[in-house]
Amino acid sequence: MRGTLPIMVAALIAAPTQAQQTPAGQDSLAVQLRALQRRLDSLERVIAQLRAAEQDTVEAVDELAALRAAAQAAAGERAEAGPDADVPQTSRTRNLQILNPEISVTGDFVGTFTAPQGESNNVSATPREFEFSFQSALDPYTRTKIYITHEQDFEIAGFPEEEGEEEEHGGFEIEEGYMYWVGLPGNLGLKLGKFRQEIGLYNRWHTHALFEVERPLAAMTFLGEDGLIQAGAAITLPSLTLGPATQTATVEVALGDNEALFENSNEMTYLGRLQSFWDLGPSSYLQFGATGVYGQNDEEFLTSRLLAVDFSYRWTPAGRALYRDFQLKGEWYFVEKDFELTEETGNGAYLQANFRASRRWILGVRGDYLNGFGNEPKIFQLAPSISWWQSEWVRLRLQYNMLKPQGGGGNHTVLFQAVWAVGPHKHETY
């Protein structure tokens, strides 16, 4: 090793003369500094190797000291040149790509086979939704998310609909488009634009990310098929820790643009949510929430009021989250709507369990209860499902719905769902 030291040092000293030549239009001192820095780095690596092998490093250390002196001398000449000296210009064109947003597309295809009691079978196949997602950091303080969707009409035969409640889909529309601030004093959260509001457990979730093919009966009846999505502003207050629980409060003000709850009143609506998070240990947690919504419907001075309470329990063994996971969720809604001479009330609930049996297989079941407005019969539904994640970007699901109105009748429906994602945005949950 000692015999090779002079050769290694000579090779380092005899650095390519091209690196020391001054390209046209560039500062020769800057080029010289870069060449010296490369040689310094190389010598330091050689010395580290020699010391690790307990070899003589005297010659290499002397050469390193000489190079450092040369670098300091060159740096001094650079300083004497002053700020008006020519500075090499580097193109930043390739860095412009960092200004582009993350662009993704999600597809959601659903096929159904329904056997209504006393009626002929019904078969459908629908590319229910294509969602285009744009996400980006606007600056160090703000982010944006924009979701543009193209939806097709989709319904399960036998599901009861209120008069005038049917939603028509077709063409492109902005499902969400908002900006939000990060790093505000006191950990405040601020959001502005059109967004899914913080009500219950699933309203924030996009339809393709749900644990079942469709939303619970109560949510679709009282909030609409797509959920409560309105334009306005939201503020999340700083979290407060009391004992083993962390409390979070959210206040939202939006323009009433929901057909099911406010009948497109275009009046101000108000939402308040209180959430309590309990960390039960390294593998499980419990969460409780309560949400109140208030706003005018399409008739002046007539209001709609909604109260929702929810809970969520999750167990995920430490270090095994990809292979084992159990979630139990439940929610109850109570709604009052004033009309000209009457006041209608409705309520409903669901209980949902979800178990990850392996990295790819997930078993789930949901039970629904609905006591809608007016004299509609109470409805019960059981919806077991099995999901297979082919990969992080492709999910297939098979589901069975058994719907039973009080007093007889009912439907049996088999549903098949395929969801796929292109790009960095996958199946976002909240």
Q: How confident is the model at residue 351 (pLDDT cuts 50, 70, 90)?
A: very high
Q: Please check whether residue 32 is in contact with residue 15, taking contact to mean a CB–CB distance below 8 angstroms.
A: no
pTM exceeds cut of 0.95:
no
Contacts of 392 (CB under 8 A, 6+ apart): 426
Q: Taking residues 139-144, what's their average pLDDT? A: 92
pLDDT at 206: 93
Q: How confident is the model at residue 163 (pLDDT cuts 50, 70, 90)?
A: very low
Six-digit token string for 366: 């949901």
Q: How confident is the model at residue 121 (pLDDT cuts 50, 70, 90)?
A: confident
Q: Please check whether residue 222 is in contact with residue 346, taking contact to mean a CB–CB distance below 8 angstroms.
A: yes
Six-digit token string for 118: 């006393």
Reply yes or no on whether the pLDDT at 13 is more than 70: no
* Highest mean pLDDT: which range of 47-51, 173-177, 255-259: 173-177
Residue with tokens 């001479």: 341
Query: Looking at beta carbons, which pairs linking 376-382 to residues 24 or more positions away fall under 8 Å?
Result: 376/160, 377/405, 377/406, 377/407, 378/405, 378/406, 379/160, 379/217, 379/403, 379/404, 379/405, 379/406, 380/404, 380/405, 380/406, 381/217
Return phi, psi of residue 338, to 5°. -85, 135
Reply yes or no on whether the pLDDT at 83 is more than 60: no
Reply yes or no on whether the pLDDT at 6 is more than 60: no
